[in-house]
Chains A and B, each alone.
Chain A
Amino acid sequence: MSTSLSDKQIQHLYWRTGFGISSSELKSVRKFSKKQMIDRLFLESLEETPLSLDFGALLKNPRDLSREERKELRQVRNKKMLELNVLWIKQLAETKQTLREKMTLFFHDHFAVRLKTPRASLHLNNVIRKHALGDFRDMLMEVSKSPAMLSFLNNRQNRKNSPNENFAREVMELFTLGRDNGYTEKDIKEAARAFTGWNFNKNGSFVFRKNHHDFDSKTVLGKTGNLTGEDVIKILLEQKQTAKYISEKIYKYFVNEKINPEHIEELTDTFYNADYNLEILMRKILMSTWFYEFQNIGVKIKSPIELIVGLSKPFQVVYKDPKVLLYLQRKLNQTLFLPPNVAGWPGGRSWIDNSTLMLRLKLASVTLNSGVIEQYDDTDDQTTMMNKQKFYKKMKTQIEKRVKATPNWENFLTSLEQKDKKELIDFIIQPTLSNSASTMIAKIDPINTKSFIIELMSLPEYQLC
Chain B
Amino acid sequence: MDRRNFLKQSVFASGISLVPSFLKGMEFLSPNQLSGYKNVIIIQLSGGNDGLNSIIPISNDIYHRLRPSIAKKEGQTLKITNDLAFNDKLKELKGLYDQGEVSIINNVGYPNPNRSHFRSTDIWQTASDTNQYLSTGWVGRYLDANCQHPYQAIEVDNSLSLAMKGNKMNGIAVSDPNQLYRTTREPFFNDLVNNTHKDMLDEDNQGYLYKTMLETYSSASYIYETSKIYTTDTAYPQSAFARNLKTIADFIVSGLKTRVFYSSLGGFDSHVNQLNSQDRLLGIYSEAIGALVKDLKKNNRFKDTLILTFSEFGRRVKQNGSRGTDHGAANNVIAIGGSLKKPGIYNEIPNLSDLDDNGDIKFSVDFRSVYATILNNWLEVNDQEILNTNFKNLGFI
Contact residues of B between 220 and 235, Cβ < 8 Å to A:
220
CB-CB under 8 A from B192, the residues of chain A are 436-437, 440, 459-460
Evaluate contact between B191 and A440: CB separation under 8 angstroms.
Answer: yes
Evaluate contact between B321 and A158: CB separation under 8 angstroms.
Answer: yes
Contact residues of A between 424 and 465, Cβ < 8 Å to B:
431, 434-437, 439-440, 455, 458-461, 463-464
B204 nearest in chain A by CB position: A299
User: A350 touches which one: B116, B159, B179, B209 (CB < 8 A)?
Assistant: B159
Query: Shortest CB–CB separation between residue A301 and chain B, in angstroms?
Result: 5
Query: Shortest CB–CB separation between residue B347 and chain A, in angstroms?
Result: 26
B206 contacts A by Cβ under 8 Å: yes
Evaluate contact between A352 and B209: CB separation under 8 angstroms.
Answer: yes
Cα distance A179–B176 when bound, in Å? 35
Evaluate contact between B321 and A163: CB separation under 8 angstroms.
Answer: yes
Evaluate contact between A458 and B206: CB separation under 8 angstroms.
Answer: no
Per-position contact with B for A159-189: 1 when CB-CB < 8 Å, else 0? 1011111100100010000011000010000
Given A169-B327, A355-B174, A436-B192, A343 and B118 contact (CB-CB distance below 8 Å):
yes
B114 contacts A by Cβ under 8 Å: yes
A217 contacts B by Cβ under 8 Å: no
B238 contacts A by Cβ under 8 Å: no
Supply 24 A–B pairs (Cβ within 8 Å), ascending by A. Answer: A154-B324, A157-B272, A161-B321, A162-B321, A162-B322, A164-B320, A164-B324, A166-B326, A180-B116, A333-B159, A341-B47, A352-B209, A358-B183, A358-B213, A359-B183, A361-B183, A362-B183, A387-B17, A388-B16, A388-B187, A435-B195, A440-B192, A459-B192, A464-B206
Query: Shortest CB–CB separation between residue B25 and chain A, in angstroms?
Result: 21
Evaluate contact between B184 and A358: CB separation under 8 angstroms.
Answer: yes
Evaluate contact between A373 and B188: CB separation under 8 angstroms.
Answer: yes
Evaluate contact between A353 and B195: CB separation under 8 angstroms.
Answer: no
Cα distance A437–B185 when bound, in Å? 18
CB-CB under 8 A from A179, the residues of chain B are 116, 118-119
A239 contacts B by Cβ under 8 Å: no
Query: Shortest CB–CB separation between residue B143 and chain A, in angstroms?
Result: 14
Contact residues on A (Cβ < 8 Å of other chain), bracket:
35 or more
Task: Beyond the given A166-B271, A353-B160, A434-B210, please list 11 additional residue pairs across the A-B interface where CB-CB is below 8 A.
Answer: A157-B271, A159-B322, A165-B326, A185-B358, A301-B209, A349-B205, A354-B220, A355-B173, A355-B180, A361-B189, A391-B16
A49 contacts B by Cβ under 8 Å: no
B158 contacts A by Cβ under 8 Å: yes
CB-CB under 8 A from A158, the residues of chain B are 321-322
Evaluate contact between B206 and A173: CB separation under 8 angstroms.
Answer: no
A375 contacts B by Cβ under 8 Å: yes
Evaluate contact between A461 and B219: CB separation under 8 angstroms.
Answer: no
A384 contacts B by Cβ under 8 Å: yes
What residues make up the interface of A, taking CB atoms closer than 8 Å to B? 154, 157-159, 161-166, 169, 173, 179-180, 185, 298-301, 331, 333, 341, 343, 348-350, 352-359, 361-362, 373, 375, 377, 384, 387-388, 391, 431, 434-437, 439-440, 455, 458-461, 463-464
CB-CB under 8 A from B115, the residues of chain A are 169, 185
A375 nearest in chain B by CB position: B188
B208 contacts A by Cβ under 8 Å: yes
Cα distance A161–B272 when bound, in Å? 16
B1 contacts A by Cβ under 8 Å: no
Query: Shortest CB–CB separation between residue B168 and chain A, in angstroms?
Result: 15
Interface centre among B158, B220, B269 (most CB of A within 10 A): B158
Cα distance A437–B207 when bound, in Å? 12
Cα distance A349–B205 when bound, in Å? 7
Contact residues of B between 241 and 281, Cβ < 8 Å to A:
269, 271-272
Cα distance A31–B188 when bound, in Å? 38
Evaluate contact between B187 and A154: CB separation under 8 angstroms.
Answer: no
Cα distance A179–B216 when bound, in Å? 34
A460 nearest in chain B by CB position: B209
Evaluate contact between B195 and A391: CB separation under 8 angstroms.
Answer: no
Evaluate contact between A391 and B185: CB separation under 8 angstroms.
Answer: yes
CB-CB under 8 A from B215, the residues of chain A are 354
Evaluate contact between B186 and A362: CB separation under 8 angstroms.
Answer: yes
B196 contacts A by Cβ under 8 Å: yes
Evaluate contact between B321 and A159: CB separation under 8 angstroms.
Answer: yes
Evaluate contact between A165 and B327: CB separation under 8 angstroms.
Answer: yes
B64 contacts A by Cβ under 8 Å: no
Evaluate contact between B184 and A436: CB separation under 8 angstroms.
Answer: no
A443 nearest in chain B by CB position: B191
Evaluate contact between B322 and A154: CB separation under 8 angstroms.
Answer: yes
Contact residues of B between 1 and 43, Cβ < 8 Å to A:
15-17
Query: Shortest CB–CB separation between residue A439 and chain B, in angstroms?
Result: 5
CB-CB under 8 A from A180, the residues of chain B are 114, 116, 119
Given A154-B322, A157-B272, A301-B205, A333 and B158 contact (CB-CB distance below 8 Å):
yes
Cα distance A371–B47 when bound, in Å? 38
Cα distance A459–B327 when bound, in Å? 44
User: A436 touches which one: B16, B17, B200 (CB < 8 A)?
Assistant: B200
Contact residues of B between 308 and 335, Cβ < 8 Å to A:
320-322, 324, 326-327
Given A349-B205, A361-B189, A439-B195, A354 and B172 contact (CB-CB distance below 8 Å):
yes
Query: Shortest CB–CB separation between residue B326 and chain A, in angstroms?
Result: 5
Evaluate contact between B209 and A154: CB separation under 8 angstroms.
Answer: no
Evaluate contact between A164 and B272: CB separation under 8 angstroms.
Answer: yes
User: B206 touches which one: A163, A331, A341, A434 (CB < 8 A)?
Assistant: A434
Cα distance A165–B48 when bound, in Å? 14
B342 contacts A by Cβ under 8 Å: no
Evaluate contact between A460 and B272: CB separation under 8 angstroms.
Answer: no
CB-CB under 8 A from A373, the residues of chain B are 186-188
Evaluate contact between B212 and A352: CB separation under 8 angstroms.
Answer: yes
User: B212 touches which one: A162, A300, A357, A388 (CB < 8 A)?
Assistant: A357
B303 contacts A by Cβ under 8 Å: no
B117 contacts A by Cβ under 8 Å: yes
Cα distance A169–B313 when bound, in Å? 15
Cα distance A349–B119 when bound, in Å? 18
B175 contacts A by Cβ under 8 Å: yes
CB-CB under 8 A from A164, the residues of chain B are 271-272, 320-322, 324, 326
Given A354-B180, A358-B184, A377-B191, A154 and B272 contact (CB-CB distance below 8 Å):
yes
Cα distance A179–B131 when bound, in Å? 12
User: A355 touches which one: B119, B175, B189 (CB < 8 A)?
Assistant: B175
Of all A-B residue pairs in the complex, the 10 with the closest CB atoms, nearest first, are A162-B321, A157-B322, A358-B183, A460-B209, A353-B173, A436-B196, A436-B195, A353-B160, A373-B188, A354-B216
Evaluate contact between A463 and B209: CB separation under 8 angstroms.
Answer: yes
Query: Shortest CB–CB separation between residue A256 and chain B, in angstroms?
Result: 10
CB-CB under 8 A from A300, the residues of chain B are 205
CB-CB under 8 A from A162, the residues of chain B are 320-322
Cα distance A179–B118 when bound, in Å? 9
Given A164-B322, A166-B271, A179-B116, A353 and B200 contact (CB-CB distance below 8 Å):
no
Query: Shortest CB–CB separation between residue B210 and chain A, in angstroms?
Result: 6
Cα distance A358–B190 when bound, in Å? 12
B177 nearest in chain A by CB position: A355
B176 nearest in chain A by CB position: A355
CB-CB under 8 A from B159, the residues of chain A are 333, 350, 353, 356
CB-CB under 8 A from B200, the residues of chain A are 434-436
Query: Shortest CB–CB separation between residue A457 and chain B, in angstroms?
Result: 11
Cα distance A180–B112 when bound, in Å? 12
